[in-house]
Every structure is written in structure tokens, then in C-alpha cells.
Amino acid sequence: MKKLVFIILVALYVMSCSKSSYTNDYVPVYLNVEQPDNFPEIVYNLDANPVTQAGFELGKKLFYDGKLSANDAIPCAFCHEQAFAFTHHEHTVSHGVNGGIGTRNAQPMQNLAYQSEFMWDGAATHLDFQPIIPLTSEVEMGETLGNVLNKLNADTYYRKQFPKAFEDGEINSENLLKALSQFMVMMVSSNSKYDKYVRNEDGGELTEIELNGLNNFKNKCATCHATDLFTDHSYRNNGLSINPKLNDKGRYNIFENPKDLYKFKVPSLRNVALSLPYMHDGRFSSLEAVLNFYDSGMTDNGNVDELFKREDGTLGITLSTYEKESIIAFLYTLTDNEFLTDERFSEF
């Protein structure tokens, strides 16, 4: 009898212990978001959502968890594979739950903390809100925030991890989206051969053709693919023929403004050698095809950016064979293998 009382007392003590430690799970270990010397300033407001070890881990778990989709099988990572600069490898447009087919090519995920608008048409104007679009899209993950939160609430891992990641410990949409942002802002790709070249670091020696390519790139491409993020963050119509099956009007869909017809975001070119296929609908499967298009494939769809107008009225950027070769050689120097194999961002 005495023994039994003792066991009960010990059990009660242990239970009370675990309960009190449960409420004190929030012990933030802050992580630093990289600010590379050659990058513009971070625009994401880290004060409102400082990155912690537990928050980052939670965000990573969510990124790789199919529970965020209606059939529990399509995680974010389904269309964003690390080895291919977080794109949907070899898919022109992506597919999602219930065989749904999207209308656009999955964009790479990197250096998101330095950008304020997302998606091909700029439909997301805050990184925290971006995941809502694929999460709710019927052809992508087909879920609702409410359903996802119900599933997370029923999961032991999340019931433990949310209180570690956030002081209020709530499993709610605010903390769900904050955790995903914490994971995403840490995804910085800044250690390509080119980065080492501009920062005068070891391993940054460019070959003659790469240097020529950089020079040609600066003359022919860098107006739009500006800064070391390789985008001026603008939306432009680059004279792609209209695909009648998609008839994607681009940024026009946001404001219904005819001036925005067929405009899409100027994409970053980091890790571009691996993020094929190219353009908003993935119509080009190689960089050669892209440069041939800019040289001689553009069509007047009625609203093409003035930048592409040649003096004789035709559209395009004139590129010689060597200019194309050298630009491609240069673009390969933007591949950042440290980032593409960084275990912090890997599923396993």
C-alpha cells in the first residue's frame, strides 16, 4: 500500500513537472538572417517576426508536410525541390491535388527576405501572406487555413513545437504563417562563383568566357535583371506569343488595367542553370532557347515593353552566337551549390 501511494505521488510529481515545463517551452534561440555585402538591404520586417531556431524548424517541417494540402499529399516542397533551386523540376506548369493543373511555372525560392512582392504577377505583397495563395488554390493544395490548423492541432509534434516557437504557443494562422516566413527568409543564396568574384573571395576566379559573358550581360540584360539579386522587381511584357490554352494575362489579373496585359515579374537569375524550364509558363527548356527567343523570337502581342524596340521597329535584343555562349557561361556562375545542398533546408 505504501509503495502504491509512493508511486502515485511520484507520478503526480512528474506529471506536474511536465505540465509546468510545457508552459515554459518558449526559450528563443535567435538565428541571424544573412545580409551579404553585395545584396540590397533586407526588406522583410524581422522585428515583427524574429527568426528563432524552433520557429525555423517548425517552418521547415510545415514546408515539407503534406498536411497543408487537401489530400495530405502535396507539401510546398512538391513543387519546390531544393536540388533544382526549389522549382518543380522538368514541369512547364505544376500539378496539384486531384490532378489539378496550374497555369504557371513554379518559381525558385531564394533571397525572399530582400523582396517585397511575390508570384509571377506580384499577387502577394507580403511574404507572410504568400503561402495562402498555393495553399488555397484548387489546382495546387486546395486547402483552407482553418482545415490545416485543425490537422496541426491533432498532431503531437505541432502541439509541442508551436509553444517552443512562439511565446503565446497558439496554433493559429498568425503563427503558422510566421513559421513559414522564418524558414523562407533564411533561404539565402549568396555563395555562387559570381558572388565570390564580386566579393574578391577565394574560388571567385572567372574564366575569360565567363568574364566576357558578364560584360555582355551587363550591356544586354542588366537593365531588367539588375543588382546582385538580378531583378529590378518590375513587371514587364517581354513579347511572348500568347498561349491560347492558358491565355494568361499576367499582372492584368490583379488590377484589370489594360497597361498590365501580359506583364510578368522579371525573375531573379540565381541558380538559373538548374531552374529550368523558363518563362512564366515554362515554355523554354534551355537557356539557349531563351536567348534565341530574345534575339529573334519576340512577337508583338500589343503591349510589349518599349525596352525591346529596336531602332528599325522590330522587337528583340540582338545577340551574336558568341554573346549567347558567353552569357550562358556567365549564368552558370550563378549556381550556388552550397545553397542547393544546404542541409538546413533539406527534408532529410
Partner 1 sequence: MKILKYTLGLLLSIFIASCSSDDHDTMEDLTGQTGSLILKFDNGIGNQDFIFGTTYTNFKGETYQLETLKYLISNVRLTDNQGNTYTYPEEENIFIVSEANGNAAGEIYITLNNIDAANYTHVTFGIGVDQERYASGADGQGDFLTTAQDEGMMWSWATGYRFMRLDGTYSSPTKTNAALNIHMGSVGTSVDNYKETTLAFPNEVLVREAKEPSVHIKADIAQVFDGLTSVSFDAGYAQVHTDEITTGVIATNMSGIFSVHHVHND
Q: Which residues are annotated as a binding site?
A: 76, 79-80, 221, 224-225
At closest approach, how far in Å is the CB of 162 from partner 1? 13
Contact between 255 and partner 1 (CB under 8 A)? yes
Q: Which distant-in-sequence residues (6+ apart) come within 8 Å of 130 by Cβ?
A: 118, 119, 124
* Residue with smaller CB distance to partner 1, 149 or 242: 149
- Rg of the chain, C-alpha, whole Å: 24
At closest approach, how far in Å is the CB of 167 from partner 1? 12
Residue 152 is placed in which grid cell? 496541426
**Which H or E run contains 151?**
helix 145-153
Contact between 153 and partner 1 (CB under 8 A)? no
Percent helix, strand and coil across the chain, each to the nearest 5 = 40, 5, 55
At closest approach, how far in Å is the CB of 114 from partner 1? 16
At closest approach, how far in Å is the CB of 46 from partner 1? 11
List binders of partner 1 among 91-150 (CB under 8 A).
117, 119, 122-130, 132-133, 136-137, 144-146, 149
- 329: nearest Cα among 276, 277, 287, 266: 287
* Residue with smaller CB distance to partner 1, 41 or 208: 41
- 180: nearest Cα among 154, 158, 210: 158
At closest approach, how far in Å is the CB of 297 from partner 1? 29
Give the x/- contact pattern for partner 1 in 211-250, rule: CB under 8 A: ----------------------------------------
Cα 234 to its chain centre, rounded Å, is: 17
* Residue with smaller CB distance to partner 1, 130 or 326: 130
At closest approach, how far in Å is the CB of 303 from partner 1? 17
Residue 72 has what DSSP assignment? S
Positive/negative CA dihedral, 195, 197, 202, 207: positive
Residue 175 is placed in which grid cell? 503563427
**Which residues are known binding-site members for heme c?**
76, 79-80, 221, 224-225
Contact between 169 and partner 1 (CB under 8 A)? no
Q: Report how many residues bind partner 1 under the rule CB under 8 A.
A: 36
Locus of grid cell 531552374 = 275
**8 A C-beta contact, residue 261 and residue 303:** yes
Residue 193 is placed in which grid cell? 562563383
Q: Is the peptide bond before 163 cis (omega within 30 degrees of 0)?
A: no
Contact between 325 and partner 1 (CB under 8 A)? no
Among 37, 72, 90, 170, the residue binding partner 1 under the rule CB under 8 A is 170
Locus of grid cell 510545457 = 22
Contact between 45 and partner 1 (CB under 8 A)? yes
* Residue with smaller CB distance to partner 1, 131 or 213: 131
Residue 8 has what DSSP assignment? H
Contact between 261 and partner 1 (CB under 8 A)? no
Please classify residue 208 by burial: count the beta carbons closer than 10 Å to its beta carbon, then call 0-12 exposed, 13-18 middle and 19+ buried.
exposed
* Residue with smaller CB distance to partner 1, 178 or 270: 178
Taking the C-alpha atoms of residue 220 and residue 205, their distance in angstroms, rounded to an integer, is 23
At closest approach, how far in Å is the CB of 106 from partner 1? 16
- Residues found near partner 1 in the complex (CB under 8 A): 45, 48-49, 117, 119, 122-130, 132-133, 136-137, 144-146, 149, 170, 172-178, 181, 253-257
